[in-house]
Every structure is written in structure tokens, then in C-alpha cells.
């Protein structure tokens, strides 16, 4: 290997440049997804073989009756459910990410399948079965594509409220739809809830009593067995008992419908009509809904399992596994599958240690089909309907629904809207409605980050939102808790502008960006607009608590040059101290403001004016109100000396002042305790120029045209080397 070559990267790829290197990286990642079974088997510990076998056997006992029952929900032949359970378990286990996720038919997916297929085909026909297989392939392609494109993160944006609302609505729909099998009513399957209820009401007079009694007995047995011991395979026991009753009493001769003998064969390979574009178009919306809801359910299950087992998951690998499982089910006479929470929980409790347990469950189910399929001839459809009814009732999680109802208003709205949409709209559109609402709620939340004013707490240790406390009349403190991106920039800008309108006297703003993780060019533009407004007001904007990524964007976009790097301040306490001593106007603090908002205010001598005289706000640039130090010096030595009025306190005055200046502290001056001539130039002086500028603005407003303020005050006078020793 020559120097500079990357290990394990072909020389041709290195020579072809970055594009070939990127392509090679993508191919390696894709091959890692598809070669997942090799990784599982290579790392497999033989000590896990027996625990995985026992767990697979336990899951098989649960999966077989559920597969028959869930096929009944979709109005597909019973063997279709068995084929899906066999193929889905094997492929989902080998190509998935979770060690314990059990893949196969589920009740909610089966209901979605029914709603999708009823639009394009008639139940009981070969076209209906072929459409189910094609639907499985379409769902698989969607899930596989999302996994290979590494879009697993998108599922995180679907709220749990969508799942809770949808499963509750699906449970109610399944209960209603299974009434015809529970009571053996001769009514057709229709997609609408209202129409189904009408048909049931009209057909109640034709109830088959033996079937109804058998259904009731199965439901009672299931509930009783669950209360006795939840680990007992209730559906299998109930179905064996019901089949025994049919065989012993000859109920099939009395009108009780049975499953009939199942074919004893491997899942037959058959290519679905993938070239039928009309059929694909009719199934597309349902395929998208099934793919989305199945992925959300699968990831929810795997995360809950990982929380118990400590396994590290790869959501994209799980997408690939779910996609390949559905494609395989479509090619081997099955229908769409998904992860099952019930069977996955049983898998964990039974001691499954790896994905091989799922493979065992599929293979054992195949063995049962090959050996015992003829015994299914006595399984009554009423018993399957009873199993479905109990399972559907379990979908309605009243406790979780009540919990969501008591929590955030947005979650409550999403759950309720999804539930109503599930009951009233075509099911595939109901799922998409809930997902879109979830995404819209997320966008609404992120586009309206919490922006609020803050003040120091009573101990001056932290800044908190305290709307009941009066704030500083000069400095506004605002924190942004959320990203400042294109969706949120307008909301932040509106809040800051409204805050400016509510506090017109505040000329300075300290923005805390501790909650901003992401800043884009729209956020930069919003900040620039706010800075421009405050500078037009005669003030400025300062930033603190910014994060490194935010700093990088401000620097690369040129915003720091516009704002000024010295406006970016350190942590809160130091920032406030610097602003208090270097930026805020002490004239306002002493003579106007009764508030002690900051720690630095506590020992400040307040000398509120005895008369109701508000000091006017000084514009940013008012050249006619200021005079430079050298101009005053030249005027004093040129024969046209102005009257120098020092507005500082006496203790400040004696420490150093301009010769021949009068000491008239600002409170008495504004109360007009001392007269100011109108026909002579007057220059007001203070330490830094702020108090003097306000005094000048006050008297100019009262008709004194020749008053000025010394720009920069005594600090500028001393900096110009004009300070002289004087006798007081």
C-alpha cells in the first residue's frame, strides 16, 4: 500500500475523487443493512440456542391463533395470516435491529388492510388476495426505501398521541366490524362506521344463537384465563376448546361456520400484479398509511423493549427489516405485517436473547402448519371473532387516554382528532391526518419558541421570568428558549418589537441566547432588524449566553461585525455589571428610577426629583446639543466664555472641575432652584456627559436655545489634557 491510500478503499475509488469515495461509503453502508443475517449468525453465542428456542416456541403458541384471527379482520383466507406469520417472523428477525421484536400480523394493521382493500376489490375473490399481496410489497418497498435512505429519524416526529388515538379508534371499529362474525349476521363488509352500524341494527333479527353463545363463551374464557394467569396461552386454549365443542356437538352441522381445512404446504411463491398501475394507484394511499403507522408502532415497541434489555437500536436497520419482511410476505402469499407488542413482550418474558428466537417462532409455525393444518377444520369463526374482540378491547387504553387528556392541550387535541378521524374518515386518511397534525404541532411548537423577559431573583443569583416585578427603565432583559430559524424568526421579532412598544423608555436590550441551539440566516436578519431599531432609539443590543454553533453562524454571516464583538458579553452577572457601570445612564438610575432591579442598584443613592419632571430621552445623534472639550477651552480663552454649569453632586465637583464652573447638582437645577440665563451660552458638565446632555435637552425644550452639553464630560476633558488645578 502506498502512502496516502486509505485502508480497505479500492485504489480506483481513491483516484476517482470525493464523489467515488462518497459512493463507495454509501454502498458499504447499504451492504451492511442487507448483510444483517450474516452479522447475527457470525456473532451468535451457542449458549443462547436453547433460550431462543423456548422463547420461539412460546411465541408460536400465541402467534398461530392470532394470525388466524387477524386474517379474519382483513377478510382474507386464514392461511394468508399463517403465511404472513411464518415469513414475517423469519425475515423480520434476521434483518431487523431488535433482538426481541416479533414481526407478523397485527390487529390495527389488519384493519387498515381491510379499509384499503375494500376500495379496490371484493372480499373472497382471487383479486382481493392478490391485492393484499401487492399491498404488502408496496408497504415493504416504502419501509425499505426509508431505511436505506436513513430516514428513521422522521418517525420521531409522530406524536404518541397519534398512536393512542388511532389504536383506540381501531379497537372500536374492530369491535363493530366483528359483530357480524360474533353473531353470524349475513351482512357485507362496508368501510363506513355509520353504514356498518345500520346493517348490524337491521340484521339483529337473524342472529345465530349457537354462534353467539360460542363467541360469548370464548370471550368469558379469555377474560377468565387472563385474570387467572396472564402467561397462559388464552387464545390457543379457547380455540382448542371451541373446536372440541364443534367436533363433539356437531355444531358445524347446525350452522356454525368453521375455518375449514388449511393447506399443508410451504407458503407458496407468487408474484403479485406489480405491473397493474391502476391497482397500485388505488392502493397507494393505504400503503403509505400502513407503512407509516407500522414503523411508528415498531419503533415504539423496540424502544420500550430496549429500555428493559439495554440493547442499542438502529432505527434504520429496523426499517430495512420491516421492509424486507413485508416484501417477502407479498411474494409468499401473505399480507402486510408489523411488529407486535403482545408477542414481543411474550418473547422477552420467555427469555429470548437474540433475533434467532424470531426465526425459531416462524419455523415452528411452519412445522405446525405442515403437521396439524387439518385440525383447523373444526375452528369456528365465532371463536376467532371472540379472540379478535378481546384483543380489540385491549387496544383502547383508557388509562393512557386519560393521562394524555390531563397533559398538554396539543397532545389532547391530536389524540381526539385522530380518534374521531379514525371513526369517521376512511382509515388510511385518518392515519395520515393524525401524522400530519403531529408534524404541524411540532412545527407550531418550534416556530413559537418561548421568548420572555427576565429579571434577577431576590438573591440576585439567577435570572427568572417575573412579570409581577417592575423592570429597569433603561435595560430590557429577554431570553429566547428555542431555535432561531426561519420558522421562528418572525415570532421572536414580533415579541421583541412588542416589548419595545411596551417599554419605549428602554434604549438597551440584553438578549440571552442560552436556549438557541440553531441559528440560520432568517434569525440573523431578525437580530439585525432589532439592533437597527434600538440604535435608532439611541441605544444598542447586547448578547450573552450564546452557544458555540450560534457564535459560528454569527461570525460567518458577518453579524458580529455589524453588532460589534464588544457587544457580546460574558455570563449573566458579569454582563449586567458591565452594562450597569459602562452603558446605563446614572442620571436615570439616581433621579428617575425608583426600582432597584439589579444587584448594583442596591447601594445606589436614589435622589428622585422633588417635582414631577421627567428627563427626556436623548437621541443617538444630536450634534447641536453637544460641544467638544477643545471648543469650550478655546471659548474660555478667547473672550466669549460660556457659563459652565457642573451638574454633578458636590462631592464629585470638589474632586476636580473646570475653572470658574458653577456647581448646580441636577435635582436642584431641574427644580429651577437656580436660574439659567437665556441670553448667554451655557455649557452643562458632568462626569461622562449623560447627565449634562439630559440637562441640556431639558432646557432646550423649555426655550433655552444656547445651552449645550460637554461631550464626554470631565472624562473627555481630562483625556484632552485640559484639567487644571483649582482652588475650591
**Per-residue pLDDT tens for 509-558?**
999 998 899 999 999 999 999 999 999 888 899 999 899 999 999 999 99
Residue 61, pLDDT above cutoff 50: yes
Q: Pseudo-torsion of CA 489, 495, 497, 501, nearest 10°?
A: 180
**Nearest in space to 359 (alpha carbons), one of 99, 102, 31, 89:** 89
pLDDT, mean of residues 250-266: 85
Q: What is the pLDDT of residues 330-339, one digit of tens each?
A: 999 999 999 8
The rounded distance, in Å, linking the Cα atoms of 211 and 200 is 16
Phi then psi for residue 703, to 5 deg, are 95, 25
2: left (phi over 0), alpha (psi -120 to 50) or beta: beta
Full strand arrangement of the beta sheet holding 682-685: 626-627, 707-710, 682-685, 643-646, 662-663
Q: Pseudo-torsion of CA 521, 522, 523, 526, nearest 10°?
A: 120
Phi then psi for residue 127, to 5 deg, are -65, -35
* Residues 402 and 100: beta-carbon distance below 8 Å: no
pTM: 0.66
CATH 3.40.250.10 fits 623-719, yes or no: yes
The rounded distance, in Å, linking the Cα atoms of 405 and 97 is 33
The rounded distance, in Å, linking the Cα atoms of 107 and 105 is 7
The rounded distance, in Å, linking the Cα atoms of 303 and 576 is 45
The rounded distance, in Å, linking the Cα atoms of 611 and 242 is 97
Residues marked as catalytic? 686
> Which of 41-45, 147-151, 508-512 is the least confident region?
147-151
> Which of 125-139, 509-523, 592-606 is the least confident region?
592-606
* Residues 429 and 284: beta-carbon distance below 8 Å: no
Strand (E) or helix (H) holding 542: strand 540-544
The rounded distance, in Å, linking the Cα atoms of 163 and 126 is 32
Q: What is the pLDDT of residue 522?
A: 93
| CATH number for domain 450-601, candidates 3.30.750.24, 3.90.15.10, 2.40.50.140, 3.40.50.720 | 3.30.750.24
* Residues 87 and 73: beta-carbon distance below 8 Å: no
Residue 273, pLDDT above cutoff 70: yes
**Nearest in space to 70 (alpha carbons), one of 194, 155, 178:** 178
The 8-class DSSP code of residue 8 comes to T
In DSSP notation, 161-173 reads HHHHHHHHHHHHH
Residue 588, pLDDT above cutoff 90: no
Counting other chains too, the contacts that 487-490 makes at CB distance below 8 Å and 24 or more residues apart are 487/443, 487/446, 487/447, 488/446, 488/447, 488/448, 488/449, 488/523, 489/522, 489/523, 489/525, 489/526, 490/526
Residue 602, pLDDT above cutoff 90: no
Pairing of strands 643-646, 626-627: unpaired
Q: What is the pLDDT of residues 664-697, one digit of tens each?
A: 988 778 777 567 888 889 999 998 887 888 788 8
* b/e 587-612 (16+ beta carbons within 10 angstroms → b): bbbbbbbeeebbebbeeeeeeebeee
Beta-bridge partners for 707: 682
Residue 199, pLDDT above cutoff 80: yes
Q: How confident is the model at residue 206 (pLDDT cuts 50, 70, 90)?
A: confident
The segment with the largest mean pLDDT, out of 49-58, 127-136, 561-570, is 127-136
The rounded distance, in Å, linking the Cα atoms of 371 and 11 is 55
Q: How confident is the model at residue 610 (pLDDT cuts 50, 70, 90)?
A: low
**Nearest in space to 670 (alpha carbons), one of 715, 624, 613, 619:** 613
Burial class (CB in 10 A: 0-12, 13-18, 19+), 339: buried
Q: What is the pLDDT of residue 12?
A: 46
More confidently predicted of 409 and 496: 496
Q: What is the pLDDT of residue 10?
A: 47
> Which of 14-23, 206-215, 414-423, 640-649 is the least confident region?
14-23
Q: What is the pLDDT of residue 306?
A: 78
Share of the chain above pLDDT 90, in %: 32
Residue 14, pLDDT above cutoff 50: no
Pairing of strands 508-512, 475-481: parallel
* Residues 514 and 484: beta-carbon distance below 8 Å: no
Task: For the chain, give every domain's residue range.
Answer: 44-187+195-440, 450-601, 623-719
- Cell numbers 454571516 label which residue? 557
Q: What is the pLDDT of residue 617?
A: 52
Burial class (CB in 10 A: 0-12, 13-18, 19+), 561: exposed
- Cell numbers 349457537 label which residue? 210
Q: What is the pLDDT of residue 8?
A: 44
The 8-class DSSP code of residue 265 comes to S
* Residues 581 and 600: beta-carbon distance below 8 Å: yes
**Nearest in space to 681 (alpha carbons), one of 710, 644, 716:** 644
Q: How confident is the model at residue 614 (pLDDT cuts 50, 70, 90)?
A: low
The neighbour count for residue 4, using CB atoms within 10 Å, is: 6
Amino acid at each position: 500500500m502506498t502512502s496516502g491510500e486509505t485502508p480497505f478503499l479500492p485504489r480506483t475509488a481513491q483516484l476517482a475523487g470525493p464523489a467515488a469515495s462518497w459512493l463507495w461509503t454509501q454502498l458499504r453502508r447499504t451492504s451492511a443493512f442487507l448483510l444483517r443475517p450474516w452479522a447475527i449468525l457470525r456473532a451468535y453465542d451457542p449458549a443462547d440456542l436453547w433460550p431462543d428456542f423456548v422463547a420461539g416456541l412460546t411465541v408460536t403458541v400465541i402467534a398461530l391463533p392470532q394470525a388466524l384471527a387477524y386474517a379474519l379482520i382483513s377478510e382474507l383466507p386464514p392461511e394468508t395470516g399463517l403465511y404472513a406469520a411464518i415469513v414475517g417472523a423469519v425475515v423480520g428477525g434476521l434483518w431487523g435491529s431488535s433482538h426481541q421484536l416479533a414481526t407478523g400480523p397485527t390487529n390495527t394493521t389488519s384493519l387498515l388492510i381491510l379499509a384499503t382493500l375494500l376500495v379496490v376489490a371484493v372480499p373472497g375473490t382471487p383479486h382481493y388476495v392478490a391485492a393484499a399481496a401487492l399491498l404488502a410489497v408496496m408497504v415493504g418497498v416504502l419501509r425499505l426505501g426509508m431505511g436505506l435512505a436513513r430516514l428513521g429519524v422522521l418517525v420521531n416526529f409522530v406524536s404518541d398521541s397519534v398512536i393512542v388515538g388511532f389504536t383506540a379508534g381501531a379497537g372500536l371499529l374492530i369491535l363493530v366490524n366483528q359483530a357480524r362474525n360474533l353473531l353470524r349476521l349475513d351482512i357485507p363488509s362496508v368501510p363506513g362506521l355509520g353504514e356498518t352500524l345500520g346493517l348490524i341494527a337491521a340484521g339483529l333479527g337473524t342472529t345465530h344463537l349457537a354462534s353467539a353463545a360460542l363467541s360469548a363463551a370464548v370471550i368469558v374464557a379469555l377474560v377468565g384465563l387472563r385474570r387467572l394467569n396472564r402467561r397462559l396461552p388464552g387464545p390457543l386454549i379457547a380455540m382448542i376448546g371451541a373446536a372440541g365443542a364443534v367436533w363433539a356437538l356437531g355444531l358445524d352441522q347446525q350452522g356454525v361456520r368453521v375455518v375449514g381445512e388449511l393447506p399443508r404446504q410451504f407458503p407458496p411463491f407468487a408474484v403479485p400484479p406489480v405491473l397493474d398501475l391502476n391497482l397500485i394507484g388505488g392502493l397507494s394511499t393505504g400503503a403509505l398509511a400502513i407503512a407509516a403507522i407500522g414503523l411508528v408502532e415498531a419503533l415504539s415497541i423496540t424502544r420500550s423493549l430496549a429500555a428493559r434489555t439495554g440493547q442499542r437500536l438502529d432505527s434504520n436497520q429496523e426499517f430495512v427489516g420491516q421492509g424486507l419482511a413485508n416484501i417477502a410476505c407479498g411474494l409468499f402469499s401473505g399480507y402486510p405485517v408489523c411488529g407486535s407488542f403482545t408477542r414481543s413482550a411474550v418473547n422477552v418474558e420467555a427469555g429470548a436473547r437474540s433475533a434467532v428466537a424470531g426465526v425459531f417462532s416462524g419455523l415452528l409455525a411452519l412445522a405446525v402448519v405442515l403437521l396439524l393444518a387439518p385440525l383447523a377444520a373444526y375452528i369456528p369463526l365465532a371463536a376467532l371473532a371472540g379472540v379478535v374482540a378481546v384483543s380489540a378491547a385491549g387496544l383502547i387504553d383508557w388509562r393512557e387516554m386519560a393521562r394524555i387528556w390531563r397533559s398538554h392541550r396539543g397532545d389532547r387535541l391530536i389524540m381526539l382528532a385522530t380518534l374521531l378521524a379514525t371513526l369517521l374518515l376512511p382509515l388510511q386518511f385518518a392515519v395520515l391526518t393524525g401524522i400530519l397534525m403531529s408534524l404541524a404541532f411540532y412545527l407550531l411548537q418550534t416556530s413559537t419558541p418561548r421568548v420572555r423577559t427576565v429579571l434577577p431573583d431576590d438573591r440576585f443569583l439567577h435570572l427568572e421570568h417575573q412579570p409581577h416585578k417592575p423592570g429597569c427603565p433603561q435595560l430590557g432583559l429577554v431570553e429566547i428558549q428555542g431555535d432561531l430559524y426561519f420558522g421562528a424568526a418572525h415570532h421572536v421579532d414580533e415579541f421583541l418589537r412588542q416589548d419595545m412598544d411596551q417599554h419605549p423608555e428602554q434604549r438597551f436590550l440584553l438578549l440571552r441566547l442560552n436556549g438557541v441551539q440553531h441559528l440560520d440566516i432568517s434569525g440573523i436578519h431578525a437580530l439585525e432588524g432589532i439592533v437597527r431599531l434600538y440604535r435608532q432609539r439611541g441605544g444598542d443590543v447586547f448578547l450573552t449566553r450564546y452557544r458555540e454553533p450560534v457564535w459560528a453562524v454569527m461570525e460567518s454571516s458577518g453579524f458580529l461585525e455589524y453588532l460589534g464583538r464588544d457587544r457580546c458579553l460574558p455570563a449573566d452577572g458579569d454582563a449586567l455589571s458591565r452594562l450597569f457601570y459602562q452603558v446605563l445612564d446614572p442620571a436615570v438610575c439616581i433621579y428617575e428610577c425608583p426600582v432597584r432591579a439589579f444587584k448594583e442598584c442596591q447601594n445606589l443613592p436614589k435622589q428622585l426629583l422633588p417635582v414631577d419632571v421627567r428627563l427626556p430621552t436623548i437621541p443617538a445623534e444630536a450634534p447641536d446639543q453637544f460641544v467638544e472639550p477643545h471648543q469650550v477651552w478655546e471659548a474660555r480663552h478667547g473672550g466669549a466664555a460660556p457659563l459652565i454649569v457642573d451638574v454633578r453632586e458636590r462631592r464629585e465637583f470638589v474632586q476636580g472641575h473646570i475653572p470658574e464652573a458653577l456647581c448646580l447638582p441636577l435635582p436642584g437645577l431641574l427644580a429651577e432652584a437656580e436660574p439659567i440665563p437665556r441670553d448667554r451660552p451655557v455649557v452643562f458638565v458632568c462626569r461622562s456627559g449623560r447627565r449634562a446632555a439630559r440637562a441640556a435637552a431639558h432646557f432646550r425644550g423649555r426655550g433655552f436655545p444656547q445651552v449645550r452639553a460637554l461631550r464626554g464630560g470631565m472624562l473627555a476633558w481630562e483625556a484632552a489634557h485640559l484639567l487644571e488645578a483649582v482652588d475650591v
